[in-house]
Copies of this chain bind each other. A is one copy, B any other.
Amino acid sequence: MNQTKFELSPIGRVEADESQGLSQLQIDEPYRPALLGLDRCTHAIVFWWADKHDNPADRANSLVMDLPYAPDVKSGVFANRSQARPNPIAITTAYLLNVNQETGVVDLAYIDAFDGTPVLDIKPYLPMSDLVLSAEYPDWMEGFPASMEEAAKFFSDPENIKKFS
């Protein structure tokens, strides 16, 4: 066990307003050169700090939890995507609508992070490292959508959202 700590600085923040269909990143000025070429990618993986979920006192207590969508299952946090985790880094793969390097605004089709969430990194989605055709769900998630495209259709039905929240 070591007591090493690593330090992160936000590179920008999420600006989101579901009622207005707004899902964008506002990248801070010093980091905008790093957006060069992102407009030629179709999808990006956005890394964000889940501070709206983060309660440092809870982190140690959230190693094993109940799953809202699988009432009989106790799940270790490394087997689920809960945002309350030892290092509360979350990722969202998102379709890129527009990248403006000058203003630092990156428009996304959707991001599941609250308004004001700190952004830590953006990486291009690369099929050779990120697209796993043979990946299967654990049994307690059987029947969940088979891709992000399927998920967009699935969760456009409010009944399906209710089932899993």
Contact = CB atoms under 8 A, between A and B. Distances in A.
A64 B64 CA distance: 41
Given A1-B29, A6-B7, A121-B87, A132 B93 contact: yes
Contact of A89 (B44, B121, B136): B121
A145 to B, nearest CB: 4
B134 A87 contact: no
A52 interface: no
A132 B144 contact: no
A1 B9 CA distance: 10
A60 B121 CA distance: 14
A135 to B, nearest CB: 5
Given A4-B118, A38-B78, A148 B124 contact: no
A87 B148 CA distance: 26
B86 A11 contact: yes
Interface string A121-153: 111111111111111111111001111111100
30 contacts: A4-B118, A5-B9, A6-B51, A6-B120, A7-B7, A8-B89, A9-B87, A11-B86, A33-B64, A34-B79, A34-B86, A37-B75, A37-B138, A41-B137, A42-B136, A43-B135, A76-B101, A78-B121, A78-B123, A79-B124, A124-B138, A127-B146, A128-B145, A130-B132, A130-B135, A130-B148, A131-B131, A131-B147, A131-B148, A132-B149
Interface of A: 1-11, 28-31, 33-38, 40-45, 47, 49, 51, 60, 63-64, 73-81, 85-87, 89, 91-93, 101, 118, 120-141, 144-151, 154
